[in-house]
Amino acid sequence: MRFYKRTAAASWTMDFMVPGSLDRVQESTRWSTIQDAERVAAGRIEEVKRLILNLGSRAQVRGSWATVGEVLAVLDEGDKVVDEGTLRTYKSALLRLARVVDEVRPFEVGMDKALARLTVERLFSLGQGRVGRGVNWVDALPVNSGLNATVRNALALMSHRERLMPGLKVPDVVDLRKLPKLREARHGFVPWPAGVFERMKAEVEGMRVEQPELWLVNVCLRRLGLRAEELLAARREWLELDAQGRWCLVIKDRADWQVLKHGKPRRLLLDAELAGVLLERTGFLIADGMKETARYNLIYRRHSEFMRRFIPDRTKSNHELRMHAASQVYMQQGLGAAAYFLGDSASTTERFYASWLGGAVGLGEDAVGAVG
């Protein structure tokens, strides 16, 4: 909460945001004394909480869908899996979808309506300026990237629904995950400058003793081509022996954690060194025993900051290791193996991940097998 005046004789203006809301309230208190202004502001905050966030004015009916306002209120409470910056992004995406349903009262929109496929299609149509004319699925329009990001962030929020929204009835998003993405003007993986990958590997090896968890994050991402969210979820029980007696990491959806983003289940062969390290784990493969937020920050923040020292011009530094690993598999084992390795289609792999790394050294200890 802050107050300001435009002139000495003017009334104080209050400026605040209510927890759970992304809308800012900026309006006059109609009082020129700060004591009266603070009194009016305190009452206004409670009013906004009741009207916008639905706090204290409506108990959730048993069996009914949670509202967007109820979800946003819960997201502001307690220890979270993700940091505040990421939560703001998730909440913004959810509110954007809710406003498609009801622009005036988005906080009262049920989660089943906000996350409906028809809502997303209407969001796409409105964003493209095609009201009443459906969605343009053909052209790679400039707005498509932001529209896809809104849906992607809403889905990411729902992947944490059991831990972020306990006790609230929210819909599954299986149907929404099947909705095709809008076409974007994107380019495939661009190989790193000569020598950069080798310098990064050398520095990582120097962290093995003093920063073993950060070392392991890097090794898993660059040898196994995992998505960051897959690594966050990976546990010791995901390690299984194949028919030849080799240890593999099995990537598939679990009862307690939806792992796959949009790909297919896959088995990733572990080299002897990595298998030896991971087999000693008892819970999560990365930083077991840490709070969820600490584990998340280790993978998404600290490791990304480390990677940006080598590839400062890349926006998704963790994902660069996935692309680099896939290109090595593609170069040595072909497109089919690379697609299996990633859990993506051959067309997606060829378009976004597969580049010919003609000067790259062989995988060596980074060997990754696509085991059927």
Per-residue confidence (pLDDT) for residue 56, from 0 to 100: 38
**pLDDT recorded at residue 75:** 85
**Band (61; pLDDT cuts 50, 70, 90):** very low
Q: Give the CATH superfamily of 196-371.
A: Intergrase catalytic core (1.10.443.10)
pLDDT, one tens digit per residue, over 323-339 is 999 999 998 889 999 99
Q: Taking residues 142-162, what's their average pLDDT?
A: 90
Which tokens go with 240?
């299984």
**Residue 39: predicted pLDDT:** 81
The whole-number pLDDT of residue 60 equals 45
- In the three-class reduction of DSSP (H, G, I as helix; E, B as strand; rest coil), residue 67 is classed as strand
Reported as a pLDDT band with limits 50, 70 and 90, residue 59 is very low
Total count of residues recorded for the chain: 372
- If one counts every other C-beta atom within 10 angstroms of the C-beta of residue 50, the result is 13
Mean pLDDT is lowest, of 24-33, 154-163, 226-235, for: 24-33
d(CA 298, CA 240): 26
Averaged pLDDT, 64-90: 81
Residue 280 per-residue DSSP state: T
pLDDT band, residue 369 (cuts 50/70/90): low
**Residue 50 pLDDT level (bands cut at 50, 70, 90):** low
Which residue has better confidence, 316 or 307? 307
- For the record, the structure tokens of 194 come out as 């000569």
Question: What whole-number distance in Å separates Cα of residue 34 and Cα of residue 3?
Answer: 8
Over residues 67-81, the mean pLDDT reads 81
Burial 163-180 (b: 16+ CB within 10 A, else e): ebbeebbbbebeebeeee
Per-residue confidence band for 170, with pLDDT thresholds at 50, 70 and 90: very high
| 171-229 pLDDT per residue, tens | 988 888 888 899 887 678 999 998 999 999 999 999 999 999 999 999 999 999 999 99
Given a cut of 80, whether residue 93 has pLDDT beyond it is yes
Average pLDDT (21-32) is: 67
Query: What integer pLDDT is reported at residue 62 of this predicted model?
Result: 44
Report percent pLDDT > 90 for the chain.
49
Res. 277: pLDDT tops 80: yes
**DSSP H/E element including 234:** none
More confident residue, 33 or 314: 314
Comparing 142-156, 243-257, 312-326, which segment has the lowest mean pLDDT? Answer: 243-257
Tokens of 108: 């009262």
At 1, the pLDDT band (50, 70, 90 cuts) reads confident
Average pLDDT over residues 286-312: 93
For the cut 80, the answer to whether the pLDDT of residue 65 exceeds it is yes
In degrees rounded to 5, what are phi and psi of residue 212? Answer: -65, -35
Residue 281 has pLDDT above 50, yes or no: yes
User: What is the C-alpha to C-alpha distance for residues 372 and 363, in angstroms, rounded to an integer?
Assistant: 20
Pairwise pLDDT comparison (342 vs 26), residue with the higher score = 342
Secondary structure of residue 302 in the 3-state scheme? helix
pLDDT at residue 300 tops 90: yes
For residue 365, the model assigns a pLDDT of 55
Question: What integer is the mean pLDDT of 266-274?
Answer: 93
Half-sphere exposure of residue 156, counting CA atoms within 13 Å on the CB side? Answer: 20
pTM of the prediction? 0.60
